[in-house]
Amino acid sequence: MHAPVAPPLPPGEFPPLAVWDFAGLMLTYWCNARCAFCYVTRAPSTPLRPKCPSPMHLGWWRELAELAAAHGQPLRVHLAGGEPFRDWVRLVALIRAARDAGLPPIDKIETNASWATDDGVTRTRLELLSALGLQQLVISSDVFHQEFVPFERVRRCVQFARRVFGRRA
């Protein structure tokens, strides 16, 4: 049995668009890894670091939040890159600016954990992000990333993320 097919719309009419309740914002294209599969085309030697927090980031964030709210849905925001933790000052500045502007908090940040070089740095950064409203951390770990990121950094990041955010991190 086949799924029912919707009747064609009259000329000039369009079906309603789905409302986004989840948005991914790229903080930077810069990354310390050069994974074979990655869509980020900038290598570490040619960083592209947009100024953050930028009016563009905050403007998109606000517009998406307003669109979701108009349809009775909360907006979830995912920050990614490149590697967003490689420019820690800008990452924190963007999250603080969004919070100060009354925007929804960050749902999650994606990282390869290359920055998790010791326990103190890792714990302090994750605790600050939690205090700023971050819900969870997504850690990219696979054979491609581990060519560039020592696995002990991934392990450290996972251990502290679970302490700070709980088992979902």
Q: How far apart are CA 106 and CA 25, in angstroms?
A: 10
More confident of the two residues 13 and 129:
129
Backbone conformation region of residue 12, classed left if phi is above 0, alpha if psi is from -120 to 50, else beta: left
- The model carries a pTM of 0.76
Q: How confident is the model at residue 117 (pLDDT cuts 50, 70, 90)?
A: very high
DSSP 8-state secondary structure symbol assigned to residue 103: P
pLDDT 10s digits, 33-88: 777 777 665 555 555 555 555 656 788 888 888 888 888 888 888 888 788 898 89
More confident of the two residues 146 and 100:
100
Q: How far apart are CA 84 and CA 24, in angstroms?
A: 12
pLDDT 10s digits, 20-33: 677 787 777 777 77
pLDDT 10s digits, 79-108: 887 888 988 988 998 899 889 989 888 889
- The pLDDT value recorded for residue 143 is 78
